[in-house]
């Protein structure tokens, strides 16, 4: 099963990109990474206005859309556009987790949350 790996260009060629690809491969996916040299070469040969359609066409050929948002939860514009197209085309979508800004609740905080949400 092929997974399109959408991520901010700031992550290109980083350890995070390598970890994400390794994770997706360990989950059994063949990863289509838009940062692969073949795709970057196509980008250099096309007008800027044509680049996004190139990538959305690629993702349409995948069964899965995996993406990484930014640490604060924001989704970059290009990734957001790809996410929209993946959703419109019925792709299985999942977000790679970002834990850097996540707050871990204590037992008491968890109990309080459960009370506030009506669970207890």
Q: What pLDDT, in 10s, does the model give residues 73-89? A: 899 999 999 999 999 99
Query: Given this model, what pLDDT does residue 22 score?
Result: 97
**8 Å CB contact between 64 and 95:** no
Share of the chain above pLDDT 70, in %: 98
Query: Given this model, what pLDDT does residue 118 score?
Result: 86
Q: How many CA atoms lie within 13 A of 119 on its CB side?
A: 6
Q: What is the mean pLDDT of residues 14-24?
A: 96
Does the pLDDT value for residue 90 go beyond 80? yes
Instruction: Catalogue all structural domains in the chain, each as residue range(s) with its CATH number.
Output: 2-116 (3.40.50.450)
Share of the chain above pLDDT 90, in %: 78
- What 3-state DSSP class applies to 102? coil
Does the pLDDT value for residue 29 go beyond 80? yes
Q: Band the pLDDT of 110: cuts 50, 70, 90.
A: very high
Cα separation, 58 vs 56, in Å, equals 5
- What 3-state DSSP class applies to 69? coil
Which of 40, 4, 38 minimizes the C-alpha distance to 21?
4
Does the pLDDT value for residue 101 go beyond 80? no
65 or 119, higher pLDDT: 65
């Amino acid at each position: 099963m092929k997974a399109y790996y959408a991520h901010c260009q700031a992550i290109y060629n980083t350890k995070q990109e390598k970890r994400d690809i390794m994770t997706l491969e360990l989950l059994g996916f063949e990863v289509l990474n838009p940062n692969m040299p073949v795709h970057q070469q196509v980008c250099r040969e096309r007008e800027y206005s044509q680049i996004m359609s190139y990538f959305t066409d690629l993702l349409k050929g995948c069964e899965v859309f995996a993406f990484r948002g930014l640490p604060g939860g924001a989704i970059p514009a290009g990734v957001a556009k790809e996410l929209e197209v993946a959703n419109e085309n019925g792709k299985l979508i999942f977000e790679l987790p970002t834990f850097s800004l996540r707050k871990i609740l204590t037992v008491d905080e968890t109990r309080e949350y459960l009370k506030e949400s009506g669970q207890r």
